[in-house]
Amino acid sequence: MPIYEYRCDECQVEFEKLVFGSDVVSCPKCGGEVHRMMSCCTFKSAAGDFKTSGTGKSGCSGCSATSCATCH
Ligand SMILES: [Zn+2]
């Protein structure tokens, strides 16, 4: 499951969130804008194998990293 780490631009709070597709994530504390941090496990390790033989990007063009028949 795609659990991402985020950090808030406003109050610097860090949190993890389960994200599906193009869900918009905002800070749970202040509602400000957040940036995804790619430091975590799931996405990186899963994408590693695909990157070498794939298009060079993680996932395929129609993929939102959750359930894609082409790359998962
Ligand atoms: Zn915040």
Ligand 1 mean position, distance from CA 17 (Å): 14
What are φ and ψ of residue 45, in 5° steps? -70, -35
Q: If you average pLDDT over residues 17-22, what whole number do you get?
A: 85
Ligand 1 mean position, distance from CA 58 (Å): 28
Ligand 1 mean position, distance from CA 16 (Å): 13
Ligand 1 mean position, distance from CA 19 (Å): 18
Q: If you average pLDDT over residues 6-12, what whole number do you get?
A: 95
Q: Which token pair is 3?
A: 């659990």
| Cα–Cα distance, 20 to 7 (Å, whole number) | 18
Predicted confidence (pLDDT) per residue in 43-60, tens digit: 545 555 544 444 445 566
Ligand 1 mean position, distance from CA 5 (Å): 14
Report the pLDDT value the prediction gives residue 72, as an integer from 0 to 100. Answer: 60
Ordered by start, the domain boundaries in the chain are: 3-52
Residues of the chain with pLDDT > 90, as a percent, come to 33
Q: If you average pLDDT over residues 16-42, what whole number do you get?
A: 84
